[in-house]
Amino acid sequence: MVNYGGDEVSALVIDIGTSSLRAGYAGDDTPKAIIPTYYGYTPPTPDADVSMTDGTEGTETSSNKPKPANTYIGQNGPSIWRPNMEIGNPLADGLITNFDPIPPLIRHALEDVMRVDATEHPVLNRERMAEIMFEEFNVPAFYIANTGVLNAFASGKGSALVVDIGQSMASVTPVVDGFVLRKGSPSRPGEHWIRPGTEPVDVGHPPRYTLREERVAQTTESWKIWAENREIDEWLQSVGALTNVPRFLSRAAPKQYEFPTGYATTYGAERYQVSEHFFISNHNSPDQPKTLPGLITESLRACDPDLRQVLTSNIAKIHAPGNPIERRYGGWLGGSILASLGTFHQLWISKEEWQEHGKAIVGQRCK
């Protein structure tokens, strides 16, 4: 009998994060489709037709299946202003809390971006997700893997202490021989949402708004928050930095940044302060997020003493980081490696097994 790996049967790997959904083929180095997990939606009117667009006005997605009314997904979905449009995200604190937008997001990534038929591909991505893939997408096989394990595989390690910093949370996951030690997996919120009640800082110049006056009344609070956080991301990518020598912060070279309003200013030592919150805490309150050193210490203390040496035996300081795409999409890359193995067919759940055993097989097979 011939054994086939995931790359020989065109297995699809899907990684759903708070910031983006990544999809591609097993064995590839990078995902083929990267779309925002955020989506826009407007409350349907009584006479509204059911429709979903890919973010381009007047262009509907390829599927004819019923979808939520007035929902906008894809690269231009939430970013194009529309009257009374709200912004949603199916994930909260790194977990899927709303499954309704998941099928349209996956369908858009597979059918509209990758142009593939899901019925011809096994999928690597618990019970509700398996139900969606088998019942709505009619995939022939399916498997779910832990992100911590996949990140370890992406780094070429079967045992590792994985520190994963995503958009909505940072986590530390001990992985031993490809299995996660659940009791040693702490996490902390990491999203930089603008908290309600925060007072704006006056930097000396009033902002010059470019939003047309007639649009202000039809702009929802969720779209406003999403747009503000997108600008924070742009600021972090442009001027944010990390230093290994905190005493040199006072002499840090300033960097200029111009906001969409036209206001421009320079930032010096303060552009290093965002990353410092991951390592240094100025609060003793238990309600404050833990630092990364605190999470690592908590994780190691929760593990058996015999395993601590295994988890900390390969500590390396990277002076020249590798491909940023590989580091950013490490979870997806690990899934691509796993699904391309010749023994992967022994792990996945086939549609016949799903029909015979139902949801119970997910917990038995995907540990």
Average pLDDT over residues 38-47: 78
The proportion of the chain whose per-residue pLDDT surpasses 90, expressed as a percent, equals 28
Would 6-37+89-157+324-365 and 159-202+247-313 be classified into the same CATH topology? Answer: yes
Q: Between residues 105 and 6, which one has the greater pLDDT?
A: 105
Domain locations in the chain as residue ranges:
6-37+89-157+324-365, 159-202+247-313
Mean pLDDT within 50-72: 53
Q: What is the C-alpha to C-alpha distance for residues 72 and 52, in angstroms, rounded to an integer?
A: 6
Contact predicate 243/276, CB 8 Å: no
The predicted structure's pLDDT at residue 99:
92
Q: CB-based contacts of 136: which residues, under 8 Å, 6+ apart?
A: 65, 103
Closest CA to 333 of 176, 211, 70, 156: 156
Place of tokens 């309704």: 100
- The structural architecture, per CATH, of the domain 159-202+247-313 is 2-Layer Sandwich (3.30)
In this predicted structure, the answer to whether residue 41 has a pLDDT above a threshold of 60 is yes
Tell which residue, 4, 28, 1, has the closest CA to residue 346: 4
Number of neighbours of residue 329 by Cβ within 10 angstroms: 23
What pLDDT was estimated at residue 269? 82
Give the pLDDT score at 195: 45
Radius of gyration of the chain (CA): 23
- The string of DSSP letters for 11-43 reads -EEEEE-SSEEEEEETT-SS-SEEEES-EEE-P
Range with the poorest average pLDDT among 2-11, 152-161, 175-184: 2-11
- Rounded to two decimals, what is the model's pTM? 0.74
Superfamily of domain 6-37+89-157+324-365: ATPase, nucleotide binding domain (3.30.420.40)
Residue 200: pLDDT over 50: yes
Q: How far apart are CA 288 and CA 302, in angstroms?
A: 21
The answer to whether residue 197 scores a pLDDT higher than 50 is no
User: Residue 249: which pLDDT band, with cuts at 50, 70 and 90?
Assistant: confident
In this prediction, residues 289-307 reach a mean pLDDT of: 88
The model's confidence at residue 202, banded by pLDDT at 50, 70 and 90, is: low
Average pLDDT, integer, range 195-210: 49
DSSP secondary structure, 51-111, as one string: -EESSSTT-B-S--S---TTEE-STTTTTS--TT-EEE-SEETTEE---TTHHHHHHIIII
- Flag whether pLDDT at 51 surpasses 90: no
**255: β partners:** 267
- Binning pLDDT at 50, 70 and 90, where does residue 59 land? very low
Predicted confidence (pLDDT) per residue in 159-176, tens digit? 889 988 888 788 899 999
